[in-house]
Amino acid sequence: MCIRDRNEALPIVEMRGISIEFPGVKALDGVDFRLFQGEVHALMGENGAGKSTLIKALTGVYRIDSGSIVVAGQERSFGGAGDAQDAGISTVYQEVNLAPNLSIGENVMLGHESRGVFGINWTATHRAATEALERLGLGHLDTRKPLSTLSIALQQLVAISRAMAIKAKVLILDEPTSSLDAAEVEGLFTVIRALRDQGVAILFVSHFLDQVYAISDRLTVLRNGQYEGEYLTRDLDRHALISKMIGKDLDALTSLGGNRRRAPRDADEKPLLAASGIARRGAVEATDLDIRPGEVIGFAGLLGSGRTELARLLYGADRPDEGTIELHGRRIDLRSPADALPRRIAFSTENRRDEGIIGDLTVRENIILAVQAERGWARPMSRKEQDAIVDRYIEQFHVRPADPDRMIKNLSGGNQQKVLLGRWLATQPELLILDEPTRGIDVGAKAEIQEAVAELAEDGVAVVFISSELEEVVRLSERIIVLKDHRKIGEIQNGPDVTAQVIVDVIAAHGVEAAAETLDDTDGAVPDSIAPTTDKEAAR
């Protein structure tokens, strides 16, 4: 789609010289932004660059200290999100903010129900919801069914339908694909393109660069709260974009993994943790697994493959129905995460918002939480002990702003993730399980976290690394466990010829032997690097 030149049309949204300051930090400093009708415009920048702050200024959540906001040629002063909605601006956030206990139709029309003399006219409301869903190709959905019956991908589309129910001129999509698989992302993109072609202006925020280049027409880059520039997406390659976002070349990403082990370990080396036939009904089929000290072992598979479920069994968040777990050669019974911490097993959840950070606590309180819990609340840590731990991890992970007494809910997603990593490293784990640690964060923060994982392995910490981004699983892992349909279907010894495509082939072939034949035919990775599931596992 040919997008407009500066002189061809007036933008539907124009923000000029936007500045917002919080105590101790200037979040935005004279930022400009333009958005045209019928385009997908990506807002790019590292975590903490000011993207979320700019969106909240546009949606009335934050008041601006200086600058102006013009919508459809009219200068606006938003006193709240309702004012922005009245101006035709709707937002769908990364975490789907819907009510799963209500019906699909109730969610679509929430706050905009059809009313009559006796209150809400539910027949008319559900009819309007169906019409809104039909505009996104979702007319087949039964609006009276509970929202909870839908997949996350469909819930995301319901959230967009709700946003469009007010006839929005501007649709803001904040990390809409973070919980979707590849097929679901393409389905969402089909909807986005249809809305764009209907003249809707779409502001798209994502840390997946491939998706940005697949869907956006134009992009604006922010860095450290300042406007770096606006570009046609087709005119800016990925390397140049990353450099503009972080202010330097991202050599860290390309060099990571260079020191990882590429040869199998000694078969006599004792594992740190050994799981035999662990299973949980409906979650994971019987699985054998061993993890050695200083090893990064990747869990790879599509969403719903059983990656997280297997990790939760290793941590005690869920209890297996069968099988055993040994630590240092001794059988252990993990009844809960409280049993795992004293055994120096730590787990960082993929659900950062609901199961990770405690939003109403400070950065300091979030970092020391696990150490204090292990010690016991009857023995509170001194301020000196707290400062030693907190200062170390704020500095190590470059948490911004570097204010330990700042509420963590006011930090960007990437900085929240760094705080969580600091929390678990403070417990000095022997085994660290990281579930989607780089999801929804920028390339700079991602590189820092990946570098930390590599350094932990060098220091002898065993790491389970789970990610939907197969490239980073390959980059960091010594071995890769491949899962599909809640079972382990193969194990790959990493090496120079192993790529993300190798994992894809294993998954697509429903088993490693067929995948190895595919690789043979295409002169791909060395088939010997792919190990089938054991006879014992196959028998199960």
Per-residue pLDDT tens over the stretch 361-388: 999 999 999 999 888 888 899 999 999 9
Q: Residue 255: what pLDDT? A: 54
Rg, the chain, Cα only: 25
* Number of other residues whose CB lies within 10 A of the CB of residue 428: 10
- Residue 180, CB half-sphere, CA atoms under 13 Å: how many? 22
Question: Using an 8 Å Cβ cutoff, are 98 and 180 in contact?
Answer: no
Q: Residue 540: what pLDDT? A: 41
Q: Can you read off the two tokens belonging to residue 206?
A: 């994502």
> How far from 93 is each of 105, 128, 132, 415, CA to CA, in Å?
19, 23, 19, 18
The series of mean pLDDT values per 10 residues for the chain, 540 residues long, is 53 96 83 96 86 92 94 92 90 78 90 85 91 84 91 83 84 83 83 92 90 95 92 91 73 50 68 96 93 95 87 94 95 92 92 84 94 88 93 88 89 85 93 89 77 90 92 92 92 90 82 44 44 44
pLDDT (tens digit, 9 = 90+) per residue, 240-295? 887 888 775 555 455 554 445 445 677 678 999 999 999 999 899 999 999 999 99
Q: What are phi and psi of 334, to 5 degrees?
A: -90, 105
In the sheet with 89-92, reading across from the earlier edge strand, the strands are 89-92, 170-174, 201-205, 40-44, 218-223, 226-232
Q: Residue 250: what pLDDT? A: 52
Is-above-0.75 flag for pTM?
no
Q: Residue 517: what pLDDT? A: 45
Q: How far apart are CA 305 and CA 415, in angstroms?
A: 28
Q: How far apart are CA 435 and CA 429, in angstroms?
A: 15
> How far from 154 is each of 103, 116, 149, 469, CA to CA, in Å?
13, 30, 10, 22
Q: Residue 244: what pLDDT? A: 86
Q: How far apart are CA 435 and CA 468, in angstroms?
A: 10
Q: Residue 251: what pLDDT? A: 56
Q: Residue 29: what pLDDT? A: 93
